[in-house]
């Protein structure tokens, strides 16, 4: 069975500092990988996705993520965060050939002034 682990439930960081949100997965088949962001009282918005090809994926709002197959990780990074990045971030995997996403439990990013 597939699973997604986001070890950090909350990450506080000062404005303009870099941030990394960790995501590890387990799967016996190849997967597609996604990061979503959820602002308060809103639905989830796609930040970026990895389907194939280059392991470094760039998304919206200056975020990027790197797929590491050997470590089964897909960590999300941003070199300099803004107050407006305060939100909850979800990592998800979709085993190839399926339609379901398996989501992690989310990481709440709080950017401090």
Interface contacts to other proteins, rule CB under 8 A: 4, 32, 34, 36, 41-46, 49, 51, 90, 92, 94, 96, 99-106
**Beta-ladder partners of 103:** 92
Distance in Å, CB of 43 to other proteins, minimum: 4
| Residue 3, C-beta contacts closer than 8 angstroms, at least 6 positions apart | 25, 26, 27, 102
Rounded Cα gap, residues 34 and 94, in angstroms: 8
Distance, CA of 18 to CA of 25 (rounded, Å): 23
* Cβ nearer to other proteins, comparing 7 with 46: 46
CB of residue 39 to other proteins, shortest distance in Å: 10
For other proteins, the closer of residues 15 and 86 by Cβ is 86
CB of 15 to other proteins, least distance (A): 27
């Amino acid at each position: 069975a597939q699973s997604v682990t986001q070890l950090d439930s909350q990450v506080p960081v000062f404005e303009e500092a870099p941030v990394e949100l960790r995501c590890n997965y387990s799967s016996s088949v190849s997967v597609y990988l996604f990061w979503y962001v959820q602002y308060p009282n809103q639905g989830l918005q796609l930040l970026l996705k990895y389907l194939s090809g280059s392991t470094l994926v760039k998304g919206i709002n200056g975020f990027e993520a790197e797929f590491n197959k050997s470590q089964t990780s897909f960590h999300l990074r941003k070199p300099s965060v803004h107050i407006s990045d305060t939100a909850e971030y979800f990592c998800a995997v979709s085993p190839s050939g399926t339609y379901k996403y398996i989501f992690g439990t989310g990481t709440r990013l709080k950017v401090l002034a």
